[in-house]
Amino acid sequence: MMQKAIDISIEGHLASMKAAKPGMTEYEIEAVMEIHLQTPRRLEDVGYPSIVGSEYNACILHYVSNRKTTENKDLVLADCGAEYQNYTADITRTFPVSGRYTNEQRVIYNIVLEAQDSGIVACRAGNGFKEPHNRAMSVVQKRLMELEIIKKPEEARWYFNHGTSHYLGLDVHDAGTGGNLKVNSVITVEPGIYIPAGSPCAEKWWNTGVRIEDDILITDSDPVNLSGKLPRKAEEIEKLMQTTTTP
């Protein structure tokens, strides 16, 4: 049931990225997403209120107003998931509405991707629940210091101010022990970097919000990315967005 919910969600994310273009409102992109999540042959509802935030709105956690009109330079953060037979998916992708990341956007995006990769590797039975977060945060700290966005590791919390994982199942934030990871649990891995305007760093980084989120199955061997069919790399997303579709 969870894999079905995730597969439906992937369809929605693919459709919204292909349809997105400058001048669309956030709610229009949301509408494309939810058309693919809620057709009668699939399911009856979304798993949670869709988050579709562009530019500065991508820096707001749990932003759900979805009213801004996108502009050519904007990143769009889409955190959306389907519910199927009471089981919920939870996937986030961040894409350039123009179809091309700017140099600064690509740098931040690739840091978040590296952090997510490090977090996913840590999703093994027996590891502590917070181990994926610790691994992801370590990457963010190192890379932001290299870019001189921060001066001390602890300052990374200004820009990565939430946990990396939560349990997923019958609720988008499902019940869990918070102890060592167990076989057959499903957790998210969703690091992010959010640099709002006015941050104490170079202005070229302002209004950059990036989160990448996937749903990870804990096994008795390597972790399985249940949403791994949805492109994550910047160049894969750019290639996808060159194939336009009608909303």
Task: Kindly report the CATH number that applies to the domain delimited by 2-241.
Answer: 3.90.230.10
Q: What is the pLDDT of residues 207-235, one digit of tens each?
A: 999 999 999 999 999 999 999 999 999 99
Q: Residues near 56 by Cβ (< 8 Å), separated by ≥ 6?
A: 196, 197, 207, 209
- Whole-prediction pTM value? 0.96
Domain ranges of the chain: 2-241
Structure tokens at 147: 């870019």
In angstroms, the CA 211 to CA 198 distance is 20
Query: Mean of the pLDDT values across residues 160-165?
Result: 98
Three-state SS at 95:
strand
| pLDDT per position as a tens digit, 182-206 | 999 999 999 999 999 999 999 999 9
Query: In terms of DSSP bridges, do strands 75-80 and 186-189 run parallel, antiparallel, or are they unpaired?
Result: unpaired
Q: Are 71 and 93 in contact (CB under 8 A)?
A: no
- Give me the half-sphere count of Cα atoms (radius 13 Å) on the Cβ side of residue 113: 17
Q: Which residue has the tokens 């989120």?
A: 213
